[in-house]
Each structure stands twice: as C-alpha cells, then as structure tokens.
A and B are shown apart, each in its own frame.
Chain A
C-alpha cells in the first residue's frame, strides 16, 4: 500500500515522515521518529500509557491516526524538560517517588501537565478525575496523587 506523508510539530521541531496509511500516532512517534516516551500498554485506549498532547489537548496516541495530526502541534513527555531542568510536575514525581516500574509515568505526567495547564490549583478530587484514564500497576495511585498536588502547590508558590 502506498505510504502517506505526514508533517507536524513534535515538541517544537518540524517533523515529516512517510507512514503506512492507518498508522497510529503512537507507532509513528516510537518507530519512525524515535520518541519512545509514549508507551504502548493496551493498544486499545484503556491504559493511558500512550497519552500525548495534540494541539493542547490530551490524546491517546494508540487510537489517533498519524494522518489526522497533519499540521498539528504534538507534545510528549520527552519534550517537557528544558534540557536538564525538569518541569514542576516531573520534579514532583521524582520527589514523591511516584513511579515504581515507570511504564505508566509518561502518560501520568502528560495527564497531570494538562490538568495544571487548565487548572493550576486542583483539589484531590480533580486530580483523581484527571488521572482516572491512566492505569498504574505498582504504586496504588496515592504517591501519584500526592505528586500532582505537590506540583500544584509548587506552581502557586512560584507564581506568587
């Protein structure tokens, strides 16, 4: 089958690739563009490990066709840190030991980042709601919830 060209911005850089028609954004990012930060957990849109942002909105990259991202602004966990400087969410995950095996972590961090971008001061219930599309097998979620709340506090302190 003929390949199709796709072109979009990935973490601030213009990227172009030829992909199989029907290729998902997840396989395009991982296998074509070398960004392995989104993880393939269930490949059916249930686990959230592949979560990325497309034009500022959370998307499950395993259910998103690469062709639909033409011209879009795609952000992944790999593009969050400024060199060695982590974002408040990433720092909070590190400080709170909010990862064990780490497979869910990129998706959790994208979900948390999107939450804090639209709601800088979420309460516990809002944090739970925001990560409810992301499955974690190790932590029991509590350290993740604490990390997001602590990132929110760090945000409000630095803004003040």
Chain B
C-alpha cells in the first residue's frame, strides 16, 4: 500500500504514456514507492504490479535489473560513490576510502546506528565534478574532498 501522495505522483507518470501502455510507468512507480518506503519489499512490488496491471514477475525483473532500486532495507542515507575510471583519476577512490573510514563500514554495509549505507556506484555522468557521490539516489554532491565529506556527514547527522 502506498500513500495517496505517492499514488498521485504515479498517476501523473502513467499519463505520460499511451492508455494501453501503463507498464511504461513502472520505473518511476518503483522509484516513487522506494522514496516512500526506503526499499522495495515483495509486498511493495506486488502492489505496484497490481496498480499497473502487470504480472508481479515483470515488476521484479525491472527492480532487479536497474541498480538504483534497493531490494533490501538500507540506512536512512544511502551514499553511492562513483569509483569509475574518470572519477578514480580525480580522487574517487580517496573519497570512497575516507567515507569507509569515517563511517566504519565497507561497501554494501550499513552503519550500526542504521543511519548510513555505503555503495560503490558506476558512472553518474558527472565526471568533471569528481569526486561525486549520490545521497539517496537524488542528491548529487560534487567535488567531494575530505572537508566536503565532513561537512555533508555533519549535515546528515543533524
């Protein structure tokens, strides 16, 4: 079950596509559902499937194919750092290592207080701003030096 606010957003997405192509809204519907719930449980995916008249398996296929969907619970803030080559040439790995050290966790782990999950990301299309990271998929942070990371973590801990 999703909130009326989420459903309203999904309806807006459905309206972008031909009337017989509701399935086209599945990516945005899952993203909206994830924003509300934090992650995609089977129940949430089944709800989306039902809402879009899709077989549940077709929704699972999408959710497991695209890597920004959380198929398991994550911390309050999921931080995804790009370590791909262009970023790596400009400090991407340093940023990742600094985050690991500050948070005391490795990639794909969640801090004990449940606040942070760290992920290794692939190209975000912002290589000129390296090091770059994403907070909860939606907020891109550029030029993440150690000082900038400190500032970001302070802000998120508030």
Q: Decide whether A and B are members of one complex.
A: no
